[in-house]
Every structure is written in structure tokens, then in C-alpha cells.
Amino acid sequence: MADWSFDIFTSGSLRHYIARSDRLPDSKTFELFCTNYDSQVTAALFIPEQNQRKKSLKNLNIRVDQGRQWSIRASAHTMSLVSRQTLSHSLLSDLKTGNRVTVTYPLSKDKNTSLRFSLKGSGKALARLEKQCAAAG
């Protein structure tokens, strides 16, 4: 099980700052990010086998350990669900100090699935992300 990592991805003038979970065996990852154009921290769940032909809004339910649960709106894109809202300070705090995060999302109208990611190393990766996002804002 790998630690969370921090990456910077640049495309033209757009710079993404990304804190990324360990990769599950099927290449799914949970990421928090901001950009040099939008300093608010938001989330994305990468699901390689997902193929959304049209964008739609879905709920991502996030629970750290057995604690609180947050429900955030996300846009379905090809291979990902990307949050449309800024993550709360309490969620970020729990992600930094927790052991495991469970992300639940709809597979279809009547069926949800849950993914579990380790939070090992998330405190360090998220602290770097928050520092970069604050500097970008």
C-alpha cells in the first residue's frame, strides 16, 4: 500500500496541484486538487472503466474512518467524477488525520459502489496541496 503523493501537472498556462491517493489494483484513484486559476480545493475520483457519453451530476459520498459523511456534487466525465464544490475544512482535516476514506458513488440509477483508499501519507500531501493552493489564490 503506497503513501499519498503530491504532483504538479502543467498544460500551457494551466497548472494543477494534486494530492493523490494510492492507486487501487484496477487503477482507480481519489484526488484532491486546485489550479493556478482556481485556488479552492476540490475532489476527483478517477474510474478508468467509466464511459459517460453525456455529462451528468452525481453525488459522491465521502466518509473518513467511521466518522462523519459528506455528500458532494460531482460531474461525471469520461473516466472520472469531478467535484463541483469546494471541500470543507472539516473534511480536509479528517482526510489529513484519518486512516481510511470510503468514497461511494452511483454505478447506475439503482446501484451504488464504494471504494476504500488508505490515508497513509495524506497529511503531508494535503499540507503541500493547501500551501500551493493558498499561494495560487
| pLDDT tens digit sequence for 19-49 | 999 999 889 999 999 999 999 999 999 988 7
- Residues sharing a CB contact under 8 Å with residue 124, sequence separation 6 or more, in sequence order: 3, 4, 6
pLDDT digits (tens, 9 = 90+) for 63-105: 999 899 999 999 888 788 899 789 999 999 999 999 999 999 9
- CATH superfamily for 5-136 is Invasion associated locus B (IalB) protein (2.60.40.1880)
Is the distance from CB of 120 to CB of 27 less than 8 angstroms?
no
